[in-house]
């Protein structure tokens, strides 16, 4: 609160005029303002970094196209027996009830999508290791002709020794691996595939076993393969051209 020029202001009198929530120690005020300014600065910095990261990926995309490579965005996720609960329609007065046992059992899934809307996927009942990643890469090389540029995150399994040996053993003639910038999952279009499968294709689906979940997942994958506009929409979301 400002005191008029030429008048005498008593600190206690001024303090009584302030609402309770406005009474903060000076050090606390400085700390709050500094934190807000730092958060704003960090937010602006992240936006700037994302712009640079998208530019770098666009450069890689352009180079791959010039070399005649097919770009494949790859990612991993988990699908659990517990259903993804989504609001749905039901007769008036009859609330839908999903009955499922609490379980951590799940399928580990790896997928890849191309700029043309092609979808590849493998699943298994254990966590992925380097050998499983090589299996997926071999699957991709069989399904897609010519040279490939695989773009994925910096997961440790993507840097496994067995993958380096796979490249040295001859795969490097057709296969090039490119890592996404750190802490930027939103730049991977494959994230949209997981969201669509879990919240659209498999919403409110209850499975009693992993084998049943595997069947439902494969049927969902085939449905998604026929929705090319959804796959292309996932690619456009981070700003890639299709």
114 forms bridges with which residues in the sheet? 72
Classify residue 188: in a domain, yes or no: yes
CB 102 within 8 A of CB 80: no
In order, the DSSP letters of 94-134 are: ------------EEEEEEEEETT--EEEEEESS---HHHHH
Classify residue 72: in a domain, yes or no: yes
CB 142 within 8 A of CB 177: no
Q: Look at residue 45 in the predicted model and tell me its pLDDT.
A: 44
Q: Look at residue 174 in the predicted model and tell me its pLDDT.
A: 95
Q: Look at residue 98 in the predicted model and tell me its pLDDT.
A: 65
Q: Look at residue 22 in the predicted model and tell me its pLDDT.
A: 42
Q: Look at residue 25 in the predicted model and tell me its pLDDT.
A: 40
Question: How many structural domains are present in the chain?
Answer: 1
Domain range for 160 is 57-236
Tell me the pLDDT tens digit for each residue of 60-119: 666 676 778 899 999 999 998 887 777 777 678 777 776 766 677 899 999 999 999 999
Question: For 6, which DSSP code?
Answer: T
Q: Look at residue 54 in the predicted model and tell me its pLDDT.
A: 54
159-167 long-range CB contacts below 8 Å, 24 or more apart? 160/129, 160/130, 160/133, 161/130, 162/130, 162/131, 162/133, 162/134, 163/130, 163/133, 163/134, 163/137, 166/134, 166/137
Classify residue 43: in a domain, yes or no: no
Q: Look at residue 141 in the predicted model and tell me its pLDDT.
A: 97
CB 167 within 8 A of CB 174: no
Classify residue 23: in a domain, yes or no: no
CA 154-155-158 angle, to 5 degrees, is: 90
Global pTM reads 0.70
Classify residue 50: in a domain, yes or no: no
Q: What share of the chain is helix, strand, coil (3-state, %, to 5)?
A: 50, 15, 35
Classify residue 133: in a domain, yes or no: yes
Classify residue 26: in a domain, yes or no: no
Classify residue 12: in a domain, yes or no: no
Low-confidence ranges of the chain (pLDDT < 50): 1-15, 17-49, 52
Longest dimension (CA), the chain: 86
Q: Return the CATH number at 151.
A: 3.30.420.10
């Amino acid at each position: 609160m400002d005191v008029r020029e030429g008048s005498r202001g008593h600190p206690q009198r001024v303090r009584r005029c302030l609402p309770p929530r406005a009474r903060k120690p000076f050090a606390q005020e400085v700390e709050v303002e500094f934190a807000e300014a730092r958060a704003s600065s960090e937010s602006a910095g992240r936006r700037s970094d994302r712009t640079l990261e998208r530019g770098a990926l666009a450069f890689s995309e352009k180079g791959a196209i010039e070399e005649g490579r097919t770009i494949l965005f790859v990612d991993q996720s988990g699908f659990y027996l517990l259903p993804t609960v989504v609001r749905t329609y039901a007769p008036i007065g009859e609330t839908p009830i999903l009955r499922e046992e609490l379980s951590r059992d799940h399928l580990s899934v790896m997928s890849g999508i191309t700029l043309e809307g092609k979808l590849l996927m493998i699943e298994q009942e254990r966590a992925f290791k380097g050998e499983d990643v090589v299996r997926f890469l071999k699957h991709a090389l069989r399904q897609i002709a010519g040279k490939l540029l695989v773009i994925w995150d910096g997961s440790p399994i993507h840097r496994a020794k067995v993958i380096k040996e796979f490249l040295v053993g001859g795969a490097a003639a057709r296969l090039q691996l490119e890592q996404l910038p750190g802490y930027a999952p939103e730049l991977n279009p494959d994230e949209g595939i997981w969201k669509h499968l879990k919240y659209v294709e498999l919403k409110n689906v209850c499975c009693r076993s992993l084998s049943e979940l595997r069947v439902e997942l494969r049927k969902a994958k085939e449905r998604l393969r026929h929705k090319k506009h959804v796959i292309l929409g996932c690619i456009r979301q981070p700003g890639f051209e299709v």
